[in-house]
Chains A and B, each alone.
Chain A
Amino acid sequence: MLEASGICKKYRKKEILKDAELLVAPGMCLGIVGRNGCGKTTLLSILAGARKAERGEIRFDGKDAVRHPEVFRQGAAYVPQENPLIEDLSVLDNLKLWYRGDRKALARDLENGPAAMLGMNDLLRQTVSRLSGGMKKRLSIACSLAEHAPYLILDEPGAALDMECKSVIRSYLQDYLRGGGGVLLASHEMEELSVCTNLAVLRDGVLHPVSRKLSAQELVTYF
């Protein structure tokens, strides 16, 4: 279980997150929605260990991640909105980086792991800069899953992608959930949020659970 409580974050004097808390269980997909600039990206990056909060607790399957940063690496696979890839290297080289040079593990995953499921086998020799946006996003996800972390944290995974790519990513997320993984997803798109088992609105620095059956218009009223 991914547990977060009392998460606070300020940018200069502005309080972005105030005692935010959430719970993501295995097989659960929590969708986070909110206005632009409400702090979704900040919250996700804190939960992935990419940013530090002013205070709060974060635990992955009971292990304290704040005091032991390596727990973030083992527990969370973070896919930011912008693709964290080295553009002038090949797909294979980018994968090697996140697999920490472990060729055997990479070969296994290219055979029947996340990298294979995301279609990386056909692109290994291609330079990242020449890939489409959808392919780059798939590569980002494959790279983030190098350590087979049990919790996948995605920040607007479908942004600027075509419908086919979005569909592929949605299928993958459903497979991931069926495999027992937990997903934390920030999005503005209802189709993307349809994968989610739970929804929450981030407003005034706090997460407010809402029904996943709300329409877009109804959801906006909670912002």
Chain B
Amino acid sequence: MGFAYLKLELKRAVGRLPYLYAGAVLAALLAVLLVLLGSRMLYGDTAAGRIRVGVALPEGDQTAGQAVRAISSMDSVRSVCDFAYMDLESGLKELEQGTVFTVLEVPEGFVQDIISGVNTPVTVWMPRGAELEGRLFEALTRAGARTLSASQAGIYAGGELYLQNGAGDRIPQLEADLNRMYLSFSLSRLDYFKRLTVSGTGNLDVMDFYRISAFVLLLFLLPAAAGDYLLPCGKVLRMKLEAAGLKGGVRVFSKVLGLSFLLAAVSLPVLFAAAFYGLTETPGMLLLCGLLAVAAVSVWVLFCYSLSGTLLGGLLFLFLAAAVQHFLAGGFLPRAFLPPAVQSLGRWMPSGILMELLEMGMTGEADGRAAVAAVFLFLAGLAACLWAERRRA
């Protein structure tokens, strides 16, 4: 009888496929929105677009070039602007065409005028109507100017000290030495540091991270489209099935298999597409990890409905539980940005375990711990379902 019951549960599951596909389409739209908003929130460098700046340097003036490069290498400037060196005529042409946002015309003797205190200004050419970008650029140039004025103040302080100590004749040499040292140190300071990229999304880039996050969240929420299938069987039917020898374990297992089939039918095309579009170099591992994720999600979704016992209760419980644990696991905002206490809790959440599992599938970096954790997650969920079924009896 167990096999007959299993076949019928699978048949019931197949009948729910259209609802799940319809739910998947709606959920995919929601997921795309989530991904876009999430990546903007983290790395919102697209608020105004990167600013391409044309720089027209005086011919043959190496010192001016060094000074401009020093400014362009500052982190605050480099994160937003790209400097392109060209002559003034080309720069103004590109400005008209819109390929550069602004052109900086650096005057002859730029650095010397700073040293001597003449401070001949740099001419900034901008197009009409560039309000947001204009304000941004103004803020950046002020930051650059403050850096230069700080170094200038340092040089003046050195000169003042020499005067007080009766070495006023050595001030020109002091200014020349300090300017040279300042420029050389400011340009090469990066050589004193190792390059280490730290990302809030770990080994994955932001897009891949949110693809996995959305996939896991979808797995949890999609079954709601087939809600009536997830409800445990009625009291009278259950009693008769028990009397006929069909125990709770068989019923639970059959339902887990049915729901896993449903989720696999929706998620496998997505995983195949990921492999087809080259999002992973280990498609086989991704598929296996995906199937394990599907099984783990199935048991926990069934647990939500078994525990609540009603359609609406199950839906609310599933939605709330899925959203909360997904947040704690760092699915909406990566764990690195969450408080430490939440971070340590989040790695035990089902979404956290499954996201690590799928990361393993995507990157091919086989860390057995992720798979072992997922297996334990599945077994724990199965035990929870059996407990809920026994409780109903």
Contacts and interface: CB of A to CB of B under 8 A. Distances in A.
Interface of A: 45, 48-51, 69-70, 72-73, 78, 80-86, 88-89, 93, 96-101, 144
A97 B1 contact: yes
Contacts of A45: 239
Contact of B239 (A51, A69, A86, A101): A51
Main secondary structure on B side of the interface with A: helix
Of A48, A49, A51, A99, most B-chain CB atoms within 10 Å: A49
B12 A89 contact: yes
Contact of A88 (B1, B4, B12, B242): B12
Nearest to B228: A88
Nearest to B242: A50
A50 B239 contact: yes
Given A73-B244, A86-B12, 15 more contacts: A49-B243, A50-B240, A50-B242, A70-B245, A72-B243, A80-B239, A80-B240, A81-B236, A84-B236, A88-B12, A88-B229, A96-B8, A97-B8, A99-B4, A144-B240
A85 B237 CA distance: 7
A99 B228 CA distance: 25
B1 A100 contact: yes
Contact of A97 (B4, B234, B243): B4
Interface residues of B, number: 23
A101 B5 CA distance: 9
Given A82-B234, A88-B228, A89-B12, A100 B243 contact: no
B4 A100 contact: yes
B234 A84 contact: yes
Nearest to A147: B244
14 contacts: A48-B243, A49-B243, A50-B240, A69-B245, A73-B244, A78-B240, A80-B239, A83-B236, A84-B237, A84-B240, A86-B8, A86-B12, A88-B15, A97-B1
A73 B235 CA distance: 18
A12 to B, nearest CB: 16
B3 interface: yes
A96 B4 contact: yes
A20 to B, nearest CB: 19
A98 B245 CA distance: 11
Interface string B65-108: 00000000000000000000000000000000000000000000
Interface string B1-19: 1011101100110010000
Nearest to B7: A101
A81 B8 CA distance: 24
A93 B8 contact: yes
A89 B11 contact: yes
Contact of B236 (A70, A82, A93): A82
A74 B379 CA distance: 35
A7 to B, nearest CB: 16
Contacts of B234: 82, 84
Contacts of B233: 86
A101 B4 contact: yes
Interface string B238-277: 0111111100000000000000000000000000000000
B241 to A, nearest CB: 8
Contacts of A96: 4, 8
A21 B339 CA distance: 67
Nearest to A101: B4
Closest 9 CB pairs of A and B: A101-B4, A50-B239, A84-B237, A84-B240, A49-B243, A82-B236, A50-B243, A100-B1, A80-B236
Contacts of B7: 101
Nearest to B240: A84
Nearest to A88: B12
A49 B7 CA distance: 25
Contacts of B241: 84
B341 to A, nearest CB: 43
A158 to B, nearest CB: 17
Nearest to B3: A101
Contacts of B228: 88
